[in-house]
Amino acid sequence: MPLIRSLVQSPFLDFIGAILVFGVSYFLSFHETIYYKGEIIFNIPFEQLFGYVKQGAYPLGIFSIIGAVFSMLATRFTGKQKNVGNILGAVTTVNSGANDFMFGNASAIITYPLTFLIFTFAIKRWAGGEKIKKIDKKYFLIIVLSIIFGFGLVYLGAYLFGGRTESYFLIIVSFTFGISLGANICNALKYNQTWLSWIVYNGFQLIKNIVIGNFANVIKYIFYLFNAIITQLDWNINGDIRNETSIA
């Protein structure tokens, strides 16, 4: 399906995705959020922001937006089967982990270093010429164990380091982390059904934001879901992009 491959490889969609993520984050005033003296403070007027930074505040919102934009680009480049996507993913994991910890997810101390290691594993595998492969028993084992492992790590992190411990919060974080963990491992091994996990993940996030009425995020996750669907079709139907290069 040449149309699907052209959409996945389109630099125009890279630009649209980055602008969309930035626009949604700006609309929600994430840039006005700081971490100051152990607390998150929202709605700091932009003209006062750097005054707080000079006093030792961490510009949590600005770094969150930067991380979100580069995370989108990492997703797009990975879908294009370019190793730079894994490299960007590893870099943004450090930023995202720090931000997530400040937002109350104490288990980020455990979960994000693991995600970083998986990205470095992916970088090495892809640099060695990893090609898209069909799913096997190992694929299903990875998905199941990742979700179980995700719950275990998140609850362990909450027990050891505190932070937010509401049941609904821990369940959501555990489930989403477990799905992303399995997806990242399957990405490193380049399974053709890798993006199915991201379809589930983004679908879950889309429904959640519709329910809570966060329609700015609804727009963002519609794009994420669309991107995951077309990439899943591309990897599953069109296969490895190296085949096209070798034929050409």
**Which is nearest to 111 in space by CA: 175, 35, 168?**
175
3-class secondary-structure state, position 41: strand
- Measured between alpha carbons, how far is 111 from 153 in angstroms, rounded to an integer? 7
Looking at residue 31, its pLDDT comes to 87
Question: Which has more pLDDT, 216 or 38?
Answer: 38
- Measured between alpha carbons, how far is 206 from 218 in angstroms, rounded to an integer? 6
The single-letter code of the amino acid at 8 is V
Mean pLDDT across the stretch 20-46?
88
Tokens of 72: 């989108």
The predicted-structure confidence for 100-146, as pLDDT tens digits, reads as follows: 888 887 888 888 999 999 999 999 999 999 999 999 999 999 999 99
**Above 60 in pLDDT, residue 215?**
yes
CB 241 within 8 A of CB 81: yes
Mean pLDDT across the stretch 197-210?
86
**Above 60 in pLDDT, residue 246?**
no
The predicted-structure confidence for 149-196, as pLDDT tens digits, reads as follows: 999 998 988 888 887 788 888 888 898 889 999 999 999 999 999 999
CB 138 within 8 A of CB 94: no
